Amino acid sequence: MTLGEGGTPLVPAPALSERTGCEVWLKLEGANPTGSFKDRGMTVAVSAAMRDGAEAVVCASTGNTAASAAAYAARAGVRGAVIVPEGKIATGKLAQALMHGARVVALRGNFDQALELVLQLVDRNPIALVNSINPFRIEGQKTGAFEVCDQLGEAPDVLCVPVGNAGNVTAWWKGFREYDVAPRLHGYQAEGAAPLVRGAPVENPETVASAIRIGNPARWEEAMDAFTSSRGEVRAVSDEEILDAYSFLGEREGVFAEPASAAAVAGLLKYGAEGRVVCVLTGHGLKDPTTALSRAAPVMPCEPSIEQVERAMLGDG
Ligand SMILES: *Cc1c(COP(=O)(O)O)cnc(C)c1O
């Protein structure tokens, strides 16, 4: 069951390199078929579910898992059903899940509650859960680590990655270990949703970075092991720092990544690193047009005359 996921670009980041003094590269996971790294794991998880005769694939999601599960379920010709926190997922992700024909359930609760409920649901029905607690998701997602090593010709010194449910950082570490390399893993959580940094679950996680608005990560222990074993770190960045990095990526690097992805860059800018650094830009900026438009300069209205067009397009601000 494939849509051609993986094989995403790894591009140098000259502006970020200049600002940080590191050699910074960006892994553009937004170039996957549904616009996030989730596709790497979903291709394996849905293939396994089909093999095992599942009648439906389900997940709880902050958005991208839903978009990906819905697409692969459509491809597989099986029912997709996703449960998301009501009013809390980015517009593009919602549009994707609906367009792929999944049933979208809006829970009057948060992601952590959605995950708990969907765990009970799979106990009672012949359906496959494709959240990142599904081991096949990790097997697929670890391929990002293989690719980065192949693209650079060796492992980077540091990998910066946003952390939500912590499946991704777990997968990257597994991939690096299987390649027999050990870059430092720098994980970043949003301040309002930073259970791993605080060392305790967060009851009501809040952040503009909806993809990492998670208070009780499913892969807590494994993620902490990855940070420790790699001599890395897990730290918090504020929403303001995330949005600054989001704008910097768009305006200076020509890369439009969603806010959660920008957390990786915000962390690098805030805490620094050394050597060759890869930032994993987990999802495409188009996923969340609302945040982009609330952040960007307004459009300029203009009458159809050359003088006005010239002033509007080329004049001083
Ligand atoms: C899912 C997701 C994350 C977080 O990944 P986890 O495996 O939950 O830690 C980060 N950024 C984006 C864009 C995501 O979709």
- Can you give the CATH number for the domain in which 126 is found? 3.40.50.1100
* Tokens encoding 185: 């893993």
Give Rg (Cα) of the chain: 20
Residue 298 burial (10 A CB sphere; 0-12, 13-18, 19+)? exposed
Last residue in a domain, options 134, 158, 192: 134
Alpha carbon distance, N-terminus to C-terminus of the chain: 50
| Same-domain check for residues 54 and 31 | no
Report phi then psi at 130, rounded to 5. -115, 25
Residues 55 and 190 grouped into a single domain:
no
Longest Cα pair distance anywhere in the chain, in angstroms?
68
3-class state of residue 314 by DSSP: helix
Whether the CB of 207 sits within 6 Å of ligand 1: no
Residue pair 261/243 in contact (Cβ under 8 Å)? The answer is no
Query: Does residue 142 lie in a domain region?
Result: yes
Q: Residue 316: what pLDDT?
A: 85
In this structure, are 181 and 118 located in the same domain?
A: no
pLDDT at 317: 64
- Ligand 1 site-directed mutation target among 165, 214, 249, 286, most atoms within 8 Å of CB: 165
Domain range spanning residue 233? 10-36+137-294
Beta strands in the chain (DSSP E): 10-12, 23-28, 56-60, 79-85, 103-107, 128-129, 158-162, 184-190, 233-237, 276-281
Residue 200 CA from chain centroid, whole number: 22
Domain count, the chain: 2
Distance 164 CA to ligand 1 centre (A): 6
Measured in angstroms, how far is the CA atom of residue 31 from the centroid of ligand 1? 15
**pLDDT per residue as tens digits for the range 156-194:** 999 999 999 999 999 999 999 999 999 999 999 999 999
- Same domain? For 110 and 27 the reply is no
Do the Cβ atoms of 230 and 175 come closer than 8 Å? Answer: no
To the question of pTM greater than 0.75 for the whole model, the response is: yes
Residue where one domain finishes, among candidates 81, 100, 134: 134
149 is a domain residue? yes
Tell me the average confidence (pLDDT) per consecutive run of 10 residues in the chain, 317 residues long.
Answer: 97 98 98 98 98 95 96 97 93 97 95 93 94 96 98 98 97 98 98 98 96 96 98 98 98 98 98 98 97 92 96 88
67 touches ligand 1 (CB under 6 Å): no
The residue behind tokens 């998880």 is 45
CA of 22 to the centre of ligand 1 (A): 24
Q: Is the CB of 141 under 6 A from ligand 1?
A: no
Residue 86 placed within a domain: yes
Q: Considering only CA atoms, which residue is closest to atom 2 of ligand 1?
A: 211
pLDDT of residue 296: 86
What pLDDT digit, counting tens, does each position of 230-259 carry? 999 999 999 999 999 999 999 999 999 999
Q: Is residue 18 part of a domain?
A: yes
- In short, whether 212's Cβ falls inside 6 Å of ligand 1 is yes
Atom of ligand 1 nearest to the CA of 165: 8
